[in-house]
Amino acid sequence: MLDIFNDTAADYERIERMMALGSGSWYRRRSLLDSGLVPGMTVLDIGVGTGLVAREAAQITGDPTLVTGVDPSVGMVTHAKVPSGVRLLAGSAESIPAPDHSADLLSMGYALRHISDLPIAFREFYRVLKPGGRLCLLEITRPENVFYRALLKFYMRGLIPLVASVVGRRRGMPKLMRYYWDTIEACAPPAAIMAAISAAGFIEVRQHIDMTIFSRYFARKPL
Ligand SMILES: C[S@@+](CC[C@H](N)C(=O)[O-])C[C@H]1O[C@@H](n2cnc3c(N)ncnc32)[C@H](O)[C@@H]1O
């Protein structure tokens, strides 16, 4: 699986712009603010990729040295564009290279469906957050409605690879989009995700869904 991210890392942000229709940075920033991120907080961004969430976090905190990004893909981290001061570490959601109780906020943008064992990851999130720390997870949710599901599948597996192959001549794109769609289809449903977050010890667990496919999960570690 990591090969896919390594091979397509150089194109990731272009692909993301096509998929999110340009709303990506704004949406990530909005979500961080909605989860309670304010200047001066320390942030761990898991599945940092090329830094789309970490860049917004660095701006909001006002100090890039407060932000640490973690990702298992060397390719993604190599292509990351983050402000100087943001630390980038090799690691995964299941094994975060950070001490216990060290972050005010843990964010994860669109990596949840790539995690094989959610309970292990959520326990790890709980471990690294300070008491009162916040969780902000973004993920694409498979639409319940069959028409919207078919539309999204066509968009991701048909239209985007076609446009990308014409515009960018990218050979890895169909493989990446197939993988994206397969992981969206196989992703745990929102109720199971929220139950697993609660089971890890978090409180105030809630989901916001936007445009029937974009889910934001917020929660807090008790004081
Ligand atoms: C779709 S990209 C998202 C990147 C970025 N967070 C964003 O918002 O655009 C998914 C990222 O999750 C990473 N990833 C895959 N498996 C992971 C895991 N088990 N733990 C943490 N990150 C993982 C991939 O390497 C990739 O960089």
What is the CB-side half-sphere exposure of residue 127 using CA atoms within 13 A? 14
Which of these ranges, 55-59, 137-141, 197-201, 203-207, has the smallest mean pLDDT? 137-141
20-144+188-220 belongs to which homologous superfamily?
Vaccinia Virus protein VP39 (3.40.50.150)
pLDDT tens digits, 129-156: 999 999 999 998 988 888 888 888 888 7
Per residue in 109-133, pLDDT (tens digit) is: 999 999 989 999 999 999 999 999 9
* Residue 17 pLDDT class (50, 70, 90 cuts): confident
139 lines ligand 1 (CB under 6 A): no
Is the CB–ligand 1 distance for residue 140 below 6 Å? no
Residue 144 CB burial class (10 angstroms; 0-12, 13-18, ≥19): exposed
Q: Tell me, what's the pLDDT at 170?
A: 60
Ligand 1 pocket, 76 CB below 6 A? yes
Q: Is 142 left (phi over 0), alpha (psi -120 to 50) or beta?
A: beta
- pLDDT at res. 168: 58
Which of ligand 1's atoms lies nearest the C-alpha of 53?
Answer: 8
Q: Is the pLDDT of residue 169 over 60?
A: no
Q: How far is the CA of 126 from the centre of ligand 1 (A)?
A: 19
Question: Structure tokens of 127?
Answer: 């471990």
Bridge partners of 87, per DSSP, are 68
State pLDDT tens for residues 61-97.
999 999 999 999 999 999 999 999 999 999 999 999 9
Percentage of the chain exceeding pLDDT 90:
65
Find out whether 158 and 133 touch, Cβ atoms under 8 Å.
no
Kind plus residue range of the DSSP H or E element containing 195 = helix 190-199
Q: Which tops the pLDDT comparison, 174 or 36?
A: 36
Q: Ligand 1 atom closest to Cα of 54?
A: 6
pLDDT value for 21 = 60
Burial tier of 176 (Cβ tally within 10 Å: 0-12, 13-18, 19+)? buried
For residue 146, how far is its CA from the centre of ligand 1 (angstroms)?
A: 27
Range 172-177 average pLDDT = 72
Q: 95 CA distance to ligand 1 centroid (A)?
A: 13
In the sheet that holds 67-71, the strands lie side by side as: 87-90, 67-71, 43-46, 103-109, 129-140, 214-220, 203-210
What is the residue extent of each domain of the chain?
A: 20-144+188-220
Q: What is the pLDDT of residue 145?
A: 86
Q: Is the pLDDT of residue 191 over 80?
A: yes
Mean pLDDT of the chain: 90
Residue 124 beta carbon below 6 angstroms from any ligand 1 atom: no
**Best probe residue, ligand 1, of 7, 86, 110, 139 (max atoms within 8 Å of C-beta):** 110
Residue 11 scores a pLDDT above 80: no
CB within 8 Å of 34: residues ≥ 6 apart:
136, 208, 216, 218
pTM: 0.93
- What is the percentage of the chain residues whose pLDDT exceeds 70? 93
In 141-220 the beta strands, taken as DSSP E runs, fall at 203-210, 214-220
Residue 171's pLDDT is what? Answer: 62
C-beta 49 within 6 A of ligand 1 = yes
